[in-house]
Structure 1
Amino acid sequence: MPPAANRPRAVAIELNAVLVALIGDEPQVLTLENGALLPSGPFEGDHPTLQTGLRAWVERQTHHPLGYVEQLYTFADRSRAAATLGRRIVSISYLGLTRERAAAGEHEPGWQSWYRYFPWEDWRGGTPAVLSRQLLPRLRRWIDAAANAMTKRERRQRVEVNFADATWNEDLVLQRYELLYEAGLVPEAAARRPIADPLPGAPMHYDHRRILATGIARLRAKIKYRPVVFELMPPDFTLGQLQLAVEALAGRPLHKQNFRRLIDQQGLVEETGAVSAETGGRPARLYRFRREIVIERAVAGSKLPLSRSS
């Protein structure tokens, strides 16, 4: 028998779901254990596919059916906490979108705004206070603590690419989280070294916040070239509601006229003939998504008209 150190380590496959819904104009994710975990569970041998296994686990844990689903990423880091238990975890993550909520109850899972975990990602009201008051000053100290001039220059460049106000890229959610982890500014990095004063932003167990960052980044990038936002919308909606939904996902304001011109040019929606009186002012026309025009094809030229103000 080979020595224990040379024996193959058992491998377990875990499935994780980043399940997103728009609730009250906020992008929210389905969580367990008071927001500390994403829905997850092992891939079982009687599941014909990984996605089937994911759907079964999510519905069993949350009593919540999945709609649109796509695979995100596979995580197999040796440093995962479960590795200390004598096995290696291969975590396969999925992004799911839904229009529905499970009924609230004592044992039901919780919906949490994804900005609870990444408060520096919400620019709808301007530059987030946490960015200028806490995050950037600590990153500057991390830069200054570099061991040599080359490392200091590399750190400064990475901070400028990921966190500069003037060139903020809403798609770099995962890169920003990974940089904060490396700098020791998030609670999940405490296993590497103690953190006296972590940044605001709720932590999650294991690497679930990293998986959530991956899901947010994927969805933010995807809404720019595929109309997946309609998977989150009710059947009938106003153009104002649609703009708020896209802004909520992107974390950035949109120019109203440019946004409506874009929607009109692409022919993504059509009027229902009805109006909504819920806008608080003049009744707004209701629209529906023209699903038939995008089946089996991407929508070209749907770059979001992001702006500094609405």
Structure 2
Amino acid sequence: MNETAHCRTELVAVVLGLDTAVTKEPQLRVLTTGEGNGLPSGPLQAGQASLQRSLRHWVENLTGFRLGYTEQLYTFADAADDFGNRAVRISYMALARSSPEMSSWQSVYRYFPWEDRRSDMTHASLIPLVSYMKSWMSGNGKRLSRCSVAFGLDGHEWNDELVLDRYELLWEAGLLHEAGVCETTLFEDSLGHAMKHDHRRILATALSRIRAKIRYTPAVFDFLPQHFTLLQLQQAMETLAGRRMHKQNFRRLVQHQSLVEETDLFDPSGQGRPARLYRFCEASSQNCYLAGAKLPLPPLA
């Protein structure tokens, strides 16, 4: 008897944007569906010659946002079910400029609270979690080494870009709902909001990708309005990286590379003397380097 396996192909969009309308600091947000349990997704239609163009058209119709930079992330495949069916998901990351309507989007750090290391509260919650992980991996040298690199232990530094590595280790440890097992509820408040299928893994991949891109490319400017202050630029970098920047070093890096140019405009919304507004200087974008201004993080162990 011949058995035929079926494969369903979907497009999944990770649309990221900075919400500047809610708090003093911008919030990194992602477009979700339902009650924040999934990413926008839909079946791949026959006859679509360009997946990227199709995705842009689909998301812009869905949200009313005109997308900026877009790139393919990865292709994910579920394991076959009892009937031999599989779901293949082609994921894309797209960047959107801030909008007043973005307040209805979900915070990315709702799904990865351990990744926002701007807060002392995150550090405090990570310490027992990392201690548990080290205990769980004791006796397994390969996993322990992965844990040390991913979480910045045993002489390693916390690497912002290893979002997916940390997510997969927590999944393997059975701490995330998506793993299908729950080893302990001790850290439930520290492990974020679950998503359907493998959507949180796709979102982790996107956060890893954008954190890598802001180090050596001018991707951060895709999140900002045409005119911005240097403080707004720094806060955007801090929000994306999930950690604080050294103010003087950051401004020195930006200005020495001629990444921005002054305008004759000022921001009247702040307290005290209005801050000068700048704009991105695209002619200097090929020499972008913004990785050297991060403040050190306190050790987790």
TM superposition shift of 1:13: 1.7
* Corresponding position of 2:23: none
Q: Quick one: structure 1 residues 278 and 308, their matched pair in 2 at CA, closer, same or farther if it must change by over 3 Å?
A: farther
Deviation by residue 1:15-46 (Cα, 9 ceiling, x = unmatched): 11111111131111111111111111111113
Contact 1:171 1:220 in 2 (8 A): yes
Contact 2:175 2:184 in 1 (8 A): no
Say yes or no: does 1:233 pair with 2:233.
Answer: no
TM superposition shift of 1:129: 2.5
Secondary structure of residue in 1 paired with 2:70? strand
User: Percent identity among equivalent residues?
Assistant: 47
Residue type of the alignment partner of 1:55: R
Alignment equivalent of 1:17, drawn from 5, 13, 26: 13
Contact 2:250 2:290 in 1 (8 A): no
* Corresponding position of 2:132: 138
Say yes or no: does 1:99 pair with 2:97.
Answer: yes
Name the CA distance, whole Å, in 1 between partners of 2:100 and 2:75.
28
Q: Quick one: structure 1 residues 20 and 141, their matched pair in 2 at CA, closer, same or farther if it must change by over 3 Å?
A: same
Name the CA distance, whole Å, in 2 between partners of 1:289 and 1:208.
33
* Corresponding position of 2:277: 286
The more displaced of 284-293 and 234-243 is 284-293
* Corresponding position of 2:146: 158
Secondary structure of residue in 2 paired with 1:175? helix
Residue type of the alignment partner of 1:3: N
Name the CA distance, whole Å, in 2 between partners of 1:216 and 1:184.
22
* Corresponding position of 2:27: 26
Secondary structure of residue in 1 paired with 2:253? helix
* Corresponding position of 1:246: 237
Q: Quick one: structure 1 residues 267 and 279, their matched pair in 2 at CA, closer, same or farther if it must change by over 3 Å?
A: same
Alignment equivalent of 1:207, drawn from 198, 204, 207: 198
Name the CA distance, whole Å, in 2 between partners of 1:258 and 1:112.
31
Say yes or no: does 1:122 pair with 2:113.
Answer: no
Name the CA distance, whole Å, in 2 between partners of 1:256 and 1:103.
30
Secondary structure of residue in 2 paired with 1:216? helix
Alignment equivalent of 2:163, drawn from 157, 162, 173: 173
* Corresponding position of 2:179: 189
Contact 1:130 1:200 in 2 (8 A): no
Contact 2:70 2:95 in 1 (8 A): yes
TM superposition shift of 1:64: 3.3
CA RMSD, 1 decimal: 2.2
TM superposition shift of 1:86: 4.4
Deviation by residue 1:111-164 (Cα, 9 ceiling, x = unmatched): 11111111111111345232113x2132133124xxxx4x2x222222111113
Secondary structure of residue in 2 paired with 1:206? coil
Residue type of the alignment partner of 1:89: A
Secondary structure of residue in 1 paired with 2:34? coil
Q: Quick one: structure 1 residues 182 and 275, their matched pair in 2 at CA, closer, same or farther if it must change by over 3 Å?
A: same
Gaps of 5+ in 2: 21-25
Report the TM-score, using the length of structure 2 for normalisation: 0.88
Q: Quick one: structure 1 residues 93 and 102, their matched pair in 2 at CA, closer, same or farther if it must change by over 3 Å?
A: farther
* Corresponding position of 1:65: 66
Gaps of 5+ in 1: none
Q: Quick one: structure 1 residues 102 and 241, their matched pair in 2 at CA, closer, same or farther if it must change by over 3 Å?
A: closer
TM superposition shift of 1:63: 3.7
TM superposition shift of 1:196: 4.5
* Corresponding position of 1:48: 49
Secondary structure of residue in 1 paired with 2:291? coil
Contact 1:119 1:128 in 2 (8 A): no
Alignment of 1:299-310 (within 5 A): 299-308=287-296
TM superposition shift of 1:222: 0.4
Report the TM-score, using the length of structure 1 for normalisation: 0.85
Secondary structure of residue in 2 paired with 1:171? coil
Name the CA distance, whole Å, in 2 between partners of 1:301 and 1:233.
18
Deviation by residue 1:81-107 (Cα, 9 ceiling, x = unmatched): xx4564222111111111144748xxx
Secondary structure of residue in 2 paired with 1:220? helix
Name the CA distance, whole Å, in 2 between partners of 1:250 and 1:103.
23
Contact 1:18 1:93 in 2 (8 A): yes
